[in-house]
Structure 1
Amino acid sequence: MQEILTIQVRTTEFLDVKGSRAEALMITFDGTCDCENFKGKILPGGVDTQKEFYPEPRTLSARYMLEGVDREGKACHIFIENNGVASEKGMVEKTTPRIITDSECLNWMETADLSGTITPWEKGVIIHIFAKECDCKY
């Protein structure tokens, strides 16, 4: 697996509701990406929606769009949907990202076998997206 995107996510707001049989948390965020494949920022509207229907494990689904330049320096956008399930420890250790992009040189990401991890940092989290096999020409 090769890391293809690294995104620094800064959390901005937490909205939650706790019912008798479930709870939901919505986390809004912004952030940046500065790696070989893409350099840019997360556009307004990024949200991570987490749900837990007791006694099932917590699930997350983050959706956001980035605007910037691809590895060839061309303006582009990347949409990411990143889904995961919490482990018994309550942490989401692995995610399953899906990508849509208008970049010609990054369009292979739309069909690549992707996986992700989440690393905490003082302002939020760092999202690491990996490809099993990729058309990475750098």
Structure 2
Amino acid sequence: MNYEEVFTVHVNIMKTIELKNDDGDSVVMISFSGDVSGRYFYGVVLDGGIDTQVIRNYGDRHTLSARYMLEGKDHTGEACRIYIENNGDLHKQRKDGSFRTFPMMVTNSKALSFLNHELFVGEGVQTESGVDIIIYRWI
């Protein structure tokens, strides 16, 4: 199976809120901003981006679920928005700290209508200011 890079979301972490219980479980909600660059789209992360991570005491579960909206221009120059729900399992991180995600997207761009129904995979890579999420399209 082949893939192509669609765009990269450059996430800048803003604030975290944490909950811990007596069982050793924790939930971390991370608000973020950022910008997006790539072949098909460039723009910014709108206010309200949040990544919720649930870390279970047993160490076998560390999930993330990020939801955010992008605003910018598609590759034809048309203004558009893209909603992303990106889910992943962080307990399966690689030795270099990178991790996989599975984004689902909805857009109002006619040129990017493939985002509404095709399969995608994301790769999270740590950066100095947060994380880069590189989104790939399976072709």
Q: TM-score, normalised by structure 2?
A: 0.90
Would you say 1:27 and 2:39 are equivalent positions? no
- Provide the C-alpha distance between the structure 1 equivalents of 2:126 and 2:9, rounded to a whole number of angstroms: 12
Q: Is the 8 A contact 2:6 2:136 kept in 1?
A: yes
What is the aligned counterpart of 1:46 among 44, 49, 57?
A: 49
Displacement of 1:52 in angstroms is 1.8
What is the root-mean-square deviation in Å for CA atoms of aligned residues? 1.5
Amino acid at match of 2:113: N
Q: CA deviation at 1:92?
A: 6.1
Tell me the SS of whatever aligns to 1:103: coil
Amino acid at match of 1:128: I
1:79 is aligned to: 83
Q: 1:123 aligns with which of 115, 123, 129?
A: 129
- 1:4-63: per-residue Cα shift (whole Å, max 9, x none)? 011111000011111122100011000001212111100000000000233241100000
- Counterparts of 1:4 and 1:59, CA distance in 2: 24
For 1:65 and 1:130, locate their aligned partners in 2 and report how far apart those are by CA, in whole Å: 18
Please state how far the C-alpha of 1:130 moved relative to its aligned partner.
0.5
2:135 aligned with 1:132, yes or no?
Answer: no
Q: For the residues of structure 1 that align with 2:100 and 2:68, how far apart are their CA atoms? A: 18
2:115 counterpart SS class? helix
1: distance between equivalents of 2:93 and 2:67? 24
Runs of 4+ in structure 1 deviating by more than 4 angstroms, as ranges, are 88-92
- State the identity %: 35
TM-score, L = length of structure 1: 0.91
Give the structure 1 partner of residue 65 of structure 2: 61
Whole-angstrom CA distance in 2 between matches of 1:125 and 1:108 = 25
Give the drift of 1:89. 5.5
Instruction: Structure 2 unaligned segments of length 5 or more: list them.
Output: none
Q: Distance in 1 between matches of 2:110 and 2:89?
A: 32
SS in 2 for 1:94: strand
Q: Unaligned stretches of 5+ in structure 1?
A: 134-138
